[in-house]
Amino acid sequence: MRILLLFLAGTALGVEPGFVSLFDGKTLNGWRLMRGQGPGYVVQDGILVCPADGGGNLFTEKEFANFVFRFEYKLSAGGNNGAGIRAPLEGDTAYQGMEIQILDDQHEKYKGRIKPEQHTGSIYDVFPARTGFQKPAGEWNEEEITANGSRITVKLNGVVLIDADLNNVQEPLVLKKHPGLRRPSGHAGFLGHGTLVEFRNIRIRPLP
């Protein structure tokens, strides 16, 4: 019975077999804040919070090459953040690494005013995501990002938004603007832009 309860507790916390939790719910141990704004990121009631007056890039101290990165997020109205992958600590992650957009893209300040490759789930400024599968602001969303060689897959609430092969990007101007598309590894994390966004159940499974 005790083993079953421990298993259920682990499942509730989102730590599936093979995955490693990246957030202990109490501290920012294992994370490093770069280009921080205001309070940066804070921990509140077991939740990782990017406050409206905070933000910056919060990266894992460890680097990852191929992986499955899972987390839950909740946007405030008009919320804007991003998941950084294969990123260096310095520079603009959307270009020097890759940014998977996290945005309340149906909010009036964005709706009809952003490019297809700026919607939630997109590889920012490169690959557009399918839309219509994000829950409204104030509700929790489940996201999964898989990076396996040149293949990047993004799932939101169980739906595949993109399944992209980075090798298909051959345009010299795009590659010059986005050298991060060719990075084999780097840090994972969140890219705050001065709006309230919350995260929980943050975990990763390295792939061979």
- pLDDT tens, 11-34? 445 479 999 999 999 999 999 999
Per-residue pLDDT, 30: 98
- Give the residue numbers spanning the domain of 84: 19-206
Per-residue pLDDT, 111: 87
11 found inside a domain: no
6 found inside a domain: no
CATH number at residue 195: 2.60.120.560
Residue 86 has pLDDT above 80, yes or no: yes
Residues 6+ apart with CB under 8 A from 122: 100, 101, 116, 128, 129, 161, 162
How is residue 179 annotated by DSSP?
G
Per-residue pLDDT, 12: 43
182 found inside a domain: yes
Residue 134 has pLDDT above 50, yes or no: yes
* The pTM of the whole model exceeds 0.85: yes
Q: 50 with 71: CB under 8 angstroms?
A: no
- Both structure tokens of 148: 């396996």
Helix/strand/coil for 180: helix
Percent of the chain with pLDDT over 70: 93
Structure confidence at residue 2 as a pLDDT band (50, 70, 90): very low
5 found inside a domain: no
- Of the candidates 73, 57, 56, 189, which has an alpha carbon nearest to the alpha carbon of residue 142? 73
Residue with tokens 């109205």: 77
Phi, psi of 125 (to 5 degrees): 70, 5
149 found inside a domain: yes
2 found inside a domain: no
1 found inside a domain: no
Helix/strand/coil for 98: strand
Mean pLDDT of 89-99: 98
How is residue 55 annotated by DSSP?
-
- Both structure tokens of 120: 């939630």
Percent of the chain with pLDDT over 90: 92
Per-residue pLDDT, 6: 36
4 found inside a domain: no
3-state percent helix, strand, coil for the chain, nearest multiple of 5: 15, 40, 45
- Structurally, the chain folds into a number of domains equal to 1
Q: Produce one character per residue of 143-177: b if its CB has 16 or more CB atoms within 10 Å, e if not.
A: bebbbeeeebebbbeeeebbebebeebeeeeeeee
Cα 35–Cα 192–Cα 9 angle in degrees, nearest 5: 115
| Residue that wins the pLDDT comparison between 177 and 10 | 177
